[in-house]
Amino acid sequence: MVERKTRTVSIALLVADTPPPNVVDKRGRYPQIYNAWLQKSLASIPRHGWMDKIEVELTPFDVVNEGKFPDEGMLRDGLFDAIMVTGSASSAYLDLPWANRLAEYIANVKENHPLVRIIGICYGHQIVARALGAHVELNEKGGWEVGSYECDLTEEGREMLGYGEEEAVLRIQECHRDHVTEVPRGCELLASTTKSPIQGFALRYPTEAPPLPSTAGTSEYTAFDISDFGTDSSGPMPARSAQVMTLQGHPEFDEEIVTALIFAKTEMGVVTDDFKDEALERARKPHDGTRIGAAFLAMLGVEPRKTDVEL
C-alpha cells in the first residue's frame, strides 16, 4: 500500500478590516470566517485515496492597524502559495496610507513574485483591480448589492471556476456599493450583474499550471514548467493557469453572516428599513460559496478526482 503524502497549501490572509461586533460575536473575525469557509470547501472536494492528503494553512496579516505583510524573504523562499485579500468597509479608491501600501504590495507580488497566486474578495477584488491599473468607484447609479445574487458567467468564468457549459450563473452572497468599472489590462472577465458588470476577473499565466512556491522552493520563475501533482491524462484544471483571480461577492459569507451585516448597516443608517427587508429575503437564497472555495483551491493545485472509480 502506497503511503499518502501530506501537502500543505499555505495562504497569507491580508486582513483589511474587522467585521461588525454582531458578526464577530456569532462567527469570529475574518481569519476565523475565512478558515471555516476554506476548510468546508476542502472537505467538499472528492479525492482518490492515493492522492496527497491536503491541509490548508491560513496565516493572517493585519494590513490596516499593524501594517503587516509577508516580507520579501518569506515570499522568495516559497513560504506562501497565495495571498488572499479580504473584504473591508473601506473604499479601495481612497488615498489612505495603508490602502496605498496594500495596492503597492499587490503590484510587487504580481511582478516580482509571480508564482505566488493572488486572490481578492470584495474589497480585495477592488484593491487588486486598482493595483493592476483599473478604476474603482462608488456605484452611484446601481447602488448596493446585498444578499445572494445570480451573476452571469462568461465563457472564461465557467472555465476558470469549474462550471459546466449549461450553467449560466454563479450564485454568491454580496455586500458592496463600490465597484470596479473596467477589467484590468490582460485580464479576463469572469461574471457580471446588471448593477455591477465586473463581478470578477482572472489573469492567466503563459503556461497552464506553473508550480506553486511551496513545491518550487521559490516565488520566482526558475523553471516555468507544468506542475504535475493532482493531474491525470485529462490535464490540469483551467483554474491552475490563474495567477490572479478575484470576485466581487463574498463566497466566505452565508445567510447568518449577511443577515447580521444587514442589521448592522440598518442600525448605522447606511441602508433603509425597506432595503433591509429586500436584502434579508435575498440573503436566504442559495449561494455557491463552498463550490467557489473549491475553485480557489483548484487554483492552488487541489483538484478533485476525475472518476468515481478508485484507481
Given a contact cutoff of 8 angstroms between Cβ atoms, the answer to whether 252 and 33 are in contact is yes
CA angle 187/297/118 to nearest 5° reads 40
What is the pTM (predicted TM-score) of this model?
0.94
Tens digit of each residue's pLDDT (9 = 90 or more) over 203-259: 999 988 999 999 999 998 765 555 545 444 457 899 999 999 999 999 999 999 999
Q: Which residue has the cell 502506497?
A: 2
What does the buried/exposed string (b/e) look like for 269-299 if buried means 16 or more CB atoms within 10 Å of the residue's CB? eebeeebbeebbebbeeebbbbbbbbbbbbb
Please tell me the predicted confidence (pLDDT) of residue 232: 46
How is residue 275 written as a grid cell? 432595503
Kind and range of the H or E element at 260?
Answer: helix 255-267
- Percentage of the chain modeled with pLDDT above 70: 93
- CATH code for the domain defined by 6-299: 3.40.50.880
Tens digit of each residue's pLDDT (9 = 90 or more) over 265-290: 999 999 999 999 999 999 999 999 99
Distance CA 247, CA 189 (A): 10
Asked if pLDDT for residue 9 goes beyond 90, the answer is yes
Distance CA 275, CA 179 (A): 19
Instruction: Provide mean pLDDT across the span 48-65.
Output: 92
Where along the chain do its domains lie? 6-299
Collapse the DSSP code of 63 into the 3-class scheme (helix H, G, I; strand E, B; otherwise coil) and give the result: coil
Given a contact cutoff of 8 angstroms between Cβ atoms, the answer to whether 190 and 201 are in contact is yes
Amino acid at 200: G
